[in-house]
Structure 1
């Protein structure tokens, strides 16, 4: 099958789906996001597929949204509205579509293994954490740095995979953790040396692919249902709305201005330096008469 942003291959009951924008570290644009349901529908419909591997072409899994294009202003981000007043409902609709596109991985009734090398950062971690299991290279990294400014992870899988304290650590700091730390936190299934990543994922596929599709479907659905009954959809609605708020807060607009003026790499360096972000841009409670 042919897709614009994905490579798709089936061999011996395993479908391998590869995000294919290697020149941009598989950064997400809206075209790539919209193809997720299509490529997973293909694997879902194929009776020869029992297990799916999701990976990235080139140097890494996925570096997040294409902010070099969007934040620097060379492309129009449909969710960042410079004309005021900002309409949060338009922002929510666009980003909710992205959230649901990634959740096509979750809703697929076949097991999905994320194979991570390089980085699964920001929106890339949203994608990875929708998968059923994650195998990482020891030197790969995963995290959501935009929680420091200009973003909230819309799938909000962190809390469901880590629990309250470790999820807050990741969401309060924006840290990127390597494969070994991700495994020790319980975030992923396993971390292995980079040169063993392919073999480790293949071994897991080999163990799963002999199981009947109906057994895999039933067990995946019952586990997922438990989390959906915990309020997963409601959590994602709040997260997706707050993601828009984060991009239009005073600090969020500062980050966008810095990216446009100095380039995205410089804005990110300032964001991740540990120094106060956009100091003086926020109003205090006292400005609103609140003690």
Structure 2
């Protein structure tokens, strides 16, 4: 992998960084980037050494939307194939069995929002803004994920007006899970990723799966999905380590309390 590829992947200590790497184009999504994302997340999904994935970007913006320049001179068939490639990239992110956290900063526009919403949650720098201008660019996009994240009426307002949503509002409506100072974004993301990667892998994967499957059905069926996940954890036996760690932590806490009382 060379440093000039549109998508970079770095792995260390159970955490993979997938990095959008077209800073000169403000990481506008083009066809090679779509293919790079699909390939990266398909590979990471099958990599047992990876416990968490961070999706982030080089340069001044997370993603300025689709790269409209690459469509110049193309016909409808090419544009259609290009859109299908972007849908495949979003799906590869969404289907990854590992928790995927988006770290966004600067402008998050159109396709950038789709990528971020395909992750499990978004941590945003305090300089991040969100905009969904697809209809104003003469196309259609973000009509499905956006309404599922923030609700139908809010999604319509953003898509119809193409206005810029500041990060505080994005946090208020649930698009963003957490906001941090821009200078601390990577450090905060790495701390979150390390915490997730430190948990038992099977339990984490099944927790993600249970939430995703449960969101598509009613509570009674959702409880059955969760019970099935619990049975898999019991059969695996990894839960015993969690109980032992908890018991050890309690013993350590009691010992500290006793020592303090003695002082």
- TM-score in terms of structure 2 length: 0.75
Shift of 1:92: 4.6
**1:131 partnered with 2:87:** no
Give the secondary structure class of the aligned counterpart of 2:86: helix
State how 1:134-283 maps to structure 2 within 5 Å.
134-154=122-142, 156-228=144-216
- TM-score in terms of structure 1 length: 0.68
Shift of 1:94: 4.3
The superposition leaves residues 241-288 of structure 1 with CA deviations (integer Å, 9 ceiling, x where unpaired) of xxxxxxxxxxxxxxxxxxxxxxxxxxxxxxxxxxxxxxxxxxxxxxxx
Shift of 1:127: 0.9
The superposition leaves residues 116-157 of structure 1 with CA deviations (integer Å, 9 ceiling, x where unpaired) of 111110111111110111011111111212233412225721
Whole-angstrom CA distance in 2 between matches of 1:203 and 1:149: 38
CA separation of 1:206 and 1:151: change in aligned 2, threshold 3 A = same
* Equivalent residues of 2:94, 2:119 under 8 A apart: yes
* Equivalent residues of 1:142, 1:176 under 8 A apart: yes
Q: Which runs of 5+ in 1 are unaligned?
A: 82-86, 231-291
1:118 alignment partner in structure 2: 106
* Equivalent residues of 2:93, 2:118 under 8 A apart: yes
2:6 alignment partner in structure 1: 5
2:86 alignment partner in structure 1: 98
Q: Which runs of 5+ in 2 are unaligned?
A: 219-263
Shift of 1:93: 4.9
CA separation of 1:171 and 1:36: change in aligned 2, threshold 3 A = same
Shift of 1:200: 1.9
CA separation of 1:110 and 1:190: change in aligned 2, threshold 3 A = same
* Equivalent residues of 2:110, 2:142 under 8 A apart: no
Paired residues, what number?
217
